[in-house]
Amino acid sequence: MKLKKLIKPLITAILVTIIIITQPLRTVALTPSEINTIAERITVRISGANKGSGVIINNSNNIYTVLSNAHVIKNKGQYEVHTYDGRNYPIS
């Protein structure tokens, strides 16, 4: 008798769970203009013994990490990073 009382709530719980899980997730996409702004701000030029570009991938306590190709800094020498706002920073 107790089993019959549990079946209906159990089936209801399973159906509700399935309905909740299968609902599509709503996402808010960035506009092309917003993507362009972000890309401009994280893309840098690198100059020195070789030239190239890079992308800022981290900022921690005003210390920036720039990702670039190995050929850009393969030769020893002094390099500078040039940001979108016209600022120049030595690479250390």
- How many CB atoms sit inside 10 A of residue 91's CB? 16
| Confidence grade of residue 8 (pLDDT, cut at 50, 70, 90) | confident
Tokens standing for 70?
A: 């190995």
Residue 92 has pLDDT above 60, yes or no: yes
Return the pLDDT at 1: 56
Do residues 63 and 49 lie in contact, with contact meaning Cβ atoms separated by under 8 Å?
A: no
The residue written with tokens 């190239």 in the block is 52
pLDDT tens for each residue of 19-43: 888 888 778 889 999 999 999 999 9
Domain ranges of the chain: 2-84
